[in-house]
Structure 1
Amino acid sequence: MRRRHHFHIDYRGHSVSATVETGLRPVVEVLVDGKETGHETGRGDRPVAVPVELPTDPPTPATVRASLGPGVPRCLLIVEGDAEPHVMAPRLY
């Protein structure tokens, strides 16, 4: 059964959102400031990493890491140069 889970974080003036669609072929889609910047297809319950760039000057490389299971998915925003990953809050749609 496929389900969609939504996650969001505001990071240094930029909006980062992720949609995780679970099921036989899980898909993770990432939007930065409302524009699709990356998507990846996963396998089973393995974590999926989606590389993105934050539109700063110069652009800041980042990765959205989605843990697909078991249970409810979770997402982290990992920004190059930051010591700790940032937890993306789940959103109900």
Structure 2
Amino acid sequence: MRQRHHFHTDHAGHSVTATVETGGRTVLVEVLVDGKETGSVTAHGDHPIVVHVELPTDPPESATVRVKPGPDVPSCLLEAPDAEPRMMSPRTY
């Protein structure tokens, strides 16, 4: 059975949200920045997944969302330049 897990954090005045869909042979990860999809990856198995995104700062800033899809509950980590890596908080909705 497929399950959707949601994660969120704020960075540099921007909202970063990740949705991780698990429970099948593939894992789908979608990342939104300020409500707009900026990256997505489909992978197989429970291997770590990296999604590269761009934050709309001036100048634009590259960031990375690292996802551990399982085998239990997934987790997400936001890595951005000039900042400590930050765990993204789970959201229920």
CA distance in 2, matches of 1:24, 1:43: 6
Gaps of 5+ in 2: none
CA distance in 2, matches of 1:33, 1:46: 27
Measure how far apart 1:81 and its partner are: 3.1
What is residue 27 of structure 1 aligned with on the other side? 28
Describe how 1:60-79 pairs up with structure 2 within 5 A. Answer: 60-79=61-80
Equivalent AA in structure 2 for residue 69 of structure 1: G
Moved over 2 A (4+): none
What is residue 59 of structure 1 aligned with on the other side? 60
Equivalent AA in structure 1 for residue 18 of structure 2: A
Query: Kindly, what percent of the aligned residue pairs are identical?
Result: 64
TM-score w.r.t. length of structure 1: 0.95
TM-score w.r.t. length of structure 2: 0.95
Equivalent AA in structure 2 for residue 19 of structure 1: T
Which string of whole-angstrom CA distances, capped at 9 and with x for unpartnered residues, describes residues 28-60 of structure 1?
000000000000011100011100011001111
Gaps of 5+ in 1: none
Equivalent AA in structure 1 for residue 90 of structure 2: P
CA distance in 1, matches of 2:54, 2:5: 22
RMSD: 0.8
CA distance in 2, matches of 1:44, 1:81: 32
What is residue 5 of structure 1 aligned with on the other side? 5
CA distance in 2, matches of 1:31, 1:41: 15
Corresponding residue SS for 2:73: coil
Aligned residue pair count: 92
Q: Does 1:40 align with 2:41?
A: yes
CA distance in 2, matches of 1:80, 1:56: 12
CA distance in 1, matches of 2:29, 2:47: 12
